[in-house]
Amino acid sequence: MDEFVEHAVSLLHEQEAWLAEHGSEIREKIEQGYAAAQRGELIDSDQFVPGWMEGNELGSLTSTKHEQLSVHSSGDRRSV
C-alpha cells in the first residue's frame, strides 16, 4: 500500500510541475479557443473526435467558417 501511495504522490507532483511549467501556454490556448468560439469559429466534433480518440496528430481542421485551424495532440492527455 505504501508503494501505491508513494507512486500516486509522485504522479501528483509531476502533474503539478507540468502545469506550472505550461500554465501560460494553457491559459493562452484557452483564451484563443474562447475568442474563436465567440466569433463562431467552432470545429465540428465529427472532424475532431476521431483523431483525438486515437491520439494522433490532427493537423489542420476546417472551422465552421471554413478557415484552416491547426490542432496538435502529443498523445499526452495533459496537453491542451
Residue pLDDT, tens place only, 30-62? 999 899 889 988 877 787 777 777 765 544 444
- SS3 of the chain: the string is CHHHHHHHHHHHHHHHHHHHHHHHHHHHHHHHHHHHHHCCCCCCHHHHHHHHHHCCCCEEEECCCCCEEEECCCCCCCCC
In a domain, 38, yes or no: yes
Range of the domain at 32: 2-71
**Does the reported pTM lie above 0.75?**
no
Residue 16 is predicted with a pLDDT of 94
Q: Check residues 75 and 29 and name the one with the higher pLDDT.
A: 29
Residue 69 has pLDDT above 70, yes or no: no
In a domain, 78, yes or no: no
The number of distinct structural domains making up the chain is 1
Residue 5 is predicted with a pLDDT of 94
